[in-house]
Structure 1
Amino acid sequence: MKKFILTICIILFLISIYKDLNTGTDLSKQKESQDSSLTLNTAFEPIKIKTERGDTVLTVTERLNPTIHNINIEQIRRDFSTLNPTVDPDHLQVNRYYFFPKYNGYGNN
């Protein structure tokens, strides 16, 4: 019985290797998404801003970057969370200071 199970495991392992070598992983799509996020993520500087009533991460970031178009909202949230690791981006408090990303040269027109 042990030989049979071992044989089955070896066959499954060999099939797995064969499929992996023939199919592979398409890295081109992963590279494109990483390139666009790297461009946005690495090209910002933190700006300390005191929030006012009605401010959200997106509205403050848009105020700081008026000439930038097509900003990825999830990337803004990630950058904000990187700058403020203990803060929930959905619940900013009024009259508190937070760091917001000011993007440099990304999509300026």
Structure 2
Amino acid sequence: MNSIKRLFIYVLIVLFLVSIHKDLTVGTPMDSEPEMQNGTKTFKQESLTAVEVKVNEGDTVLTIVEELNDQNDKQLDIPQIQADFEALNPNVQALHVEPGEYYYFPLY
């Protein structure tokens, strides 16, 4: 029984080291330039596509995402929209966007 515990611990250590190695060696490609379309930048981050949009007075993250994603048959998940917006704009909270500034908004 003691040897099974040791084997299990060794396997966990090896998996942990392989995971660390993979995290450190796989990165963002150097040629990942944003595409320009209609004056807005579009790029993909992992499985997330985004568009750079200038925020106007009275706009919210939700209203802009609803305009960009014409999905009448699907309900958009508000917490997911906020999380995706904050992932695309790391130093900005979804509830505190400034009019006149450009931000990246997720496309679904």
Percent of pairs with identical residues: 40
1:44 & 1:55 partners in 2: Cα distance? 22
Structure of higher RCO (CA pairs closer than 8 Å, 6+ residues apart): 1
Unaligned runs of 5+ in 2: 1-45
Poorly superposed stretches of 4+, deviation over 4 Å: none
Q: Which amino acid aligns with 1:54?
A: G
What TM-score do you get using the length of structure 1 for normalisation?
A: 0.53
Higher relative helix content: 1
Give, in angstroms, the shift of residue 86 of structure 1.
Answer: 0.2
Unaligned runs of 5+ in 1: 1-41, 104-109
Bigger Cα Rg: 1
What TM-score do you get using the length of structure 2 for normalisation?
A: 0.54
Give, in angstroms, the shift of residue 91 of structure 1.
Answer: 1.1
- Number of aligned residue pairs: give it: 62
Higher relative strand content: 2
2:47 & 2:79 partners in 1: Cα distance? 16
Q: CA RMSD in A?
A: 1.4
